[in-house]
Amino acid sequence: MNMIVCIKQVLDPEAPLSSFKIDPATNTMVPVTSVPFVISPFDEQAVEAALKIKDAKGGKITVISLGVNLLRDVVKKPLSLGADELILLEDPAFIGGDSWSTAYALAAAIKKVGQFDLIFCGRQAADSDSGQVGACIAEILGIPQVSVAKKVEAIDGKVKVDKVTTDGYEVVEVPTPALITVSNELGEVRFATFKGTMASKKKEPIIWKPADIGAEPAKIGAAGRRIKTRKLFQPVRDSKCEIIGGETDEDKAANLAKKLVEVKLI
**Whose CA is closest to 66, among 108, 94, 24?**
94
Rg (CA), the chain: 22
115 binds another protein (CB under 8 A): no
**Whose CA is closest to 9, among 205, 153, 240?**
205
**2, 135, 151, 212: which one binds another protein (CB under 8 A):** 135
102 binds another protein (CB under 8 A): no
**Whose CA is closest to 132, among 117, 143, 119, 121?**
121
**For another protein, which is the closer residue by CB, 187 or 212?**
187
223 binds another protein (CB under 8 A): no
**156, 157, 218, 243: which one binds another protein (CB under 8 A):** 243
First to last CA, the chain: 57
- Binding region for another protein (CB under 8 A) out of 60-68, 87-95, 167-175, 214-222: 167-175
For 165-169, the CB contacts below 8 A with 24+ separation are: none
- Binding region for another protein (CB under 8 A) out of 47-55, 92-100, 112-120, 212-220: 92-100
Site for another protein in 38-67 (CB under 8 A): 38
**For another protein, which is the closer residue by CB, 59 or 131?**
131
95 binds another protein (CB under 8 A): no
**For another protein, which is the closer residue by CB, 130 or 211?**
130
Determine the Cα–Cα distance for residues 61 and 64; give it in Å rounded to an integer. Answer: 10
**24, 73, 209, 211: which one binds another protein (CB under 8 A):** 73
Cβ 80 to another protein, closest distance in Å? 5
In three-state secondary structure terms, 251 is helix
Determine the Cα–Cα distance for residues 227 and 258; give it in Å rounded to an integer. Answer: 51
Bridge partners for 22 per DSSP: 29
85 binds another protein (CB under 8 A): no
**59, 84, 95, 128: which one binds another protein (CB under 8 A):** 128
Determine the Cα–Cα distance for residues 265 and 25; give it in Å rounded to an integer. Answer: 43
169 binds another protein (CB under 8 A): yes
**115, 156, 157, 226: which one binds another protein (CB under 8 A):** 226
- Binding region for another protein (CB under 8 A) out of 59-67, 108-116, 197-205, 214-222: 197-205
63 — phi, psi (to 5°)? -105, 135
Q: How many CB atoms lie within 10 A of CB 69?
A: 9
- Binding region for another protein (CB under 8 A) out of 60-68, 83-91, 144-152, 212-220: 144-152
Q: Is residue 66 a contact partner of residue 105, using CB atoms and an 8 Å limit?
A: yes
